[in-house]
Amino acid sequence: MFNTLSDRLSASFKRLRGKGVLTEHDVDETVSDIRRALLDADVALPVVRSFTKQVREKAYGAARSEALNPGQQVVKIVNDELIEILGGAERELNFATKGPTVMMLAGLQGAGKTTLAGKLGQWLRTEHDKRVLLVAADLQRPNAVTQLQVVGERAGVDVWAPEPGNGIGDPVEVARTGRDHAITNGYGVVIVDTAGRLGVDTEMMEQARAIREAIDPHEVLFVLDAMVGQDAVQTSVAFRDGVGFTGVVLSKLDGDARGGAALSVRGVTGAPVLFASTGEGLGDFERFHPDRMASRILDMGDILTLIETAEKAYTEDEAKDLQSKLAQGKFTLEDFLTQLNQIRKMGSMKKLLGMLPGAGQMREALDNFDESQITRIEAIVHSMTPAERADPSILNGSRRARIARGSGTTVQEINSLVKRFEDARRMMQSMSRNGGALPSMGGGGLPGSSKHSGARQAKRQAKKRRKFGNPAKQKQWEAAQAKKKQAGASTPGSAFGLGESTPAPTMDDLPDDVKRMLGRM
């Protein structure tokens, strides 16, 4: 959603990084760029004015201090201000000390309230071990009650729906009886789904106020469609004044809109953003962390969320077992298939890669990434026998043709997968033995190169030794080569012509094509 804004901010900061000293003129130019980027992103004008004012004042101070890395100082200032307008310190939910916690959802029709009720219910059930009851108080929209029942069943939570809806029934009474039913039957959380309209009107506001007075909720969550833009901000102000809410939930945050609503709602309404809906699946739902969202906007990644996602898919024992297999060289295609399934549990590969720092620089590659490739890889491995998965070296021509027919792929795809797997296994095995760093390689080759590769290289160079008809030229050329050889030998024990004190290269130092290969694995 924030791709355009992120690209423009990154371009502004890139110009700053090339400057040794930051002047107030540089600050003014950068702030002007930021202001235009925010306005183009459809951020509310009062928020833009407040944001740029704070950035300018703090950046002036950084310019006068003449400190090192002025560009990094400005990035830090912008990051801090983004965190502030996105909500500052995150707030925890207000859970009831006794009895069920009552939550009420409000918002316009089409914002995704009903689906979000299921997502929130599943999140509370799995993350907080709460027994959740969804209350179908949207009796206006056609089939809203049926939709909530379907969503509740998928989320694994119960639904209170005494009325059929479609214009029949009293939503205030349904909300009240739903809360009473939760109290009687020992539910931990009640989520009341209310009706919306295509626009703000008096009838909707009165009904929402009546429901709030009837159930006295601990949280009133305003569901805001992040793709609507400035109109969403006006709607949030109308709901704040008409009904009142304690927090905001951003839906459709995975869309391609400019994202102004997400950056504006906190500054305009004063209510914090508590959750974000990032996809169509029930699991595409997460707590909203202002600091992490600011980091994503500035293309600095979101490693914490990535780690938390991985921890949900991997247990500590599984991680240790994987590391042990890599170190011993026992990692097989069967293990590889298991890892693919674990990655699938973590969600979309595009979304995971997008959390890495600098993901904006490979956005085109991410956009063109085909998620179905993972399915094709699974089909190939599933078409192998257990012996073939354990030892790919036995895959001869006839076996590969059989696997290609069984998986609906080609022999070339089989060859490519096996080669990438062997290269990746060899590299990860070497890295696991060296604490995450690649070992020294005398010939500059990949891990697993022959120890005689240096000798072979010397022989090739000897064959290519130049010969001149002029003895003086020949002698001059040989002296220059000897000087180069002596200079290269002056740093013994180095991996890539570096001194002994130079640390071994890590994953960040790998060639781009190797990184892409590992990414595909």
Residue numbering of the annotated binding site for GTP: 107-114, 193-197, 251-254
- Helix/strand/coil (H/E/C) assignment for every residue in 1-64: CCHHHHHHHHHHHHHHHCCCCCCHHHHHHHHHHHHHHHHHCCCCHHHHHHHHHHHHHHHHHHHH
- With CA atoms as reference, report the closest residue to 40 among 253, 225, 260, 255: 260
Residue 34 and residue 52 in contact, taking contact as beta carbons nearer than 8 Å: yes
For the chain, the straight-line distance linking the first and the last C-alpha, in angstroms and rounded, comes to 27
> What Rg do the C-alpha atoms of the chain give, in angstroms?
30
- With CA atoms as reference, report the closest residue to 248 among 270, 228, 230: 270
Residue 249 and residue 216 in contact, taking contact as beta carbons nearer than 8 Å: no
- With CA atoms as reference, report the closest residue to 133 among 194, 187, 195, 211: 187
The binding site comprises: 107-114, 193-197, 251-254
251 secondary structure, DSSP code:
E
- With CA atoms as reference, report the closest residue to 249 among 227, 285, 274, 229: 274
- With CA atoms as reference, report the closest residue to 521 among 34, 264, 513, 88: 513
Distance CA 329, CA 327 (A): 6
Distance CA 264, CA 411 (A): 53
